[in-house]
């Protein structure tokens, strides 16, 4: 049995990058709203909404980007290899 192709370190940390960027946006929004209206609760609510919106937008942008040549080569290699996925019945 062969080892499945392991994702690169960059591919493994991509979700963490999206979360960190979303947290940065959420904290910024929360601070601006809390300082503007002088209400920490409202700032927290807007920060939470900002986190969700930023996460959805960034994730959508991440999946709509065109793969570069290295990713295309990796996908072609995976298509050609005879590896099995769990539960595929092969």
Rg, the chain, Cα only = 20
Give, for 10, the enclosing helix (H) or strand (E): helix 9-37
Residue with tokens 């609760």: 41
Distance (Å, whole) CA 36 – CA 22: 21
Residue 51 lies in domain? 21-65
Residue 61 lies in a domain: yes
- Write the pLDDT tens digit of every residue in 5-39: 777 777 777 889 999 999 999 999 999 999 999 99
Total domain count, the chain: 1
- pTM, two decimal places: 0.66
The closest of 63, 55, 66 to 25, measured between CA atoms, is: 55
Distance (Å, whole) CA 25 – CA 48: 10
- Measured in whole angstroms, the distance separating CA 23 from the mean position of its chain's CA atoms is 12
Residue 86 lies in a domain: no
């Amino acid at each position: 049995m062969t080892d499945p192709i392991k994702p690169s370190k960059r591919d493994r940390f991509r979700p963490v990058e999206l979360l960190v960027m979303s947290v940065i946006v959420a904290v910024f929004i929360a601070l601006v709203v809390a300082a503007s209206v002088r209400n920490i609760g409202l700032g927290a609510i807007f920060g939470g909404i900002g986190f969700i919106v930023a996460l959805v937008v960034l994730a959508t942008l991440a999946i709509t980007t065109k793969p570069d040549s290295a990713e295309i080569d990796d996908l072609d290699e995976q298509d050609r290899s005879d590896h099995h996925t769990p539960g595929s019945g092969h």
